[in-house]
Amino acid sequence: MGQRNKKDHRKSDLTRRQGIRNVKQSFLILCEGVRTEPDYFKAFRVTTATVKAVGQAMNTISLVNKAISIKETDQKKKRLYDQCWVVFDKDDFPAKDFNQAITLAHKNGFKVAYSNQAFEYWFLLHFNLYKGTLHRNNYAGMLTKLTGIPYSKNEGFGAIMYNRLVGMQTQAIRNAESVLAEISQGNPALEESSTTVHLLVSELNKYI
């Protein structure tokens, strides 16, 4: 009798542990870009998470408002997310709009993966610690030279960049952290060049 109870107890513990492993973390990632960013984040080989990464062809405040709307619509359908992110760039948009978008996102439960000036700065950080003013018009040429692959905005290229750079992510994260530690003063719109994409990357890597 006692032996059977021990076996039942062990079986129950195993079932609970398996149940815990089967509960996946869910991500909602709304991106300004319609190809590069969603393709890049979908390429993460997560095994214990689900990722809904969508490009919206919107910028700053418009993107955040759209993200809030999508989140609320999904909630009505009983689809809830553990982590909600918005991904957008400073580009040449007004500093006020950029900073307000970050504030609005945080107030509505979204985390922010921003880049000043653009998302490709995150790719560049895989190779070197780039600091200071660096116009986004130079990014494509620099990445072509560094990767040996002609940089493209075509569909699927974000996944190509993920596979090309994944082995260098640790350096990129370290470089992004170093830049922010040096220049961050609570005004992201004026902090060129910088990015918080590494925060989202680090979160996704927890579920690979």
Least Cα distance to 111 among 102, 122, 123 occurs for 102
- 20-35 pLDDT, tens per residue? 445 699 999 999 999 9
Domain ranges of the chain: 24-205
Q: How many other CB atoms sit within 10 Å of the CB of residue 144? A: 13
pLDDT at 201: 98
Number of Cβ atoms within 10 Å of the Cβ of 62? 15
Are 207 and 94 in contact, with CB atoms under 8 Å apart? Answer: no
Q: Which of 107, 88, 105, 110 is nearest to 189 (CA)?
A: 88
Q: pTM of the entire structure?
A: 0.88
Kindly state the DSSP code that residue 189 receives in the 8-state scheme: G
Ramachandran sector of residue 171 (left: φ over 0; alpha: ψ -120 to 50; beta: rest): alpha
- The string of pLDDT tens digits covering residues 137-195 is 999 999 999 999 999 999 999 999 999 999 999 999 999 999 999 999 999 999 999 99
User: What pLDDT is recorded for position 155?
Assistant: 95
Q: Which of 195, 96, 187, 179 is nearest to 132 (CA)?
A: 179
Res. 77: pLDDT tops 60: yes
Q: Which helix (H) or strand (E) holds 29?
A: strand 25-31
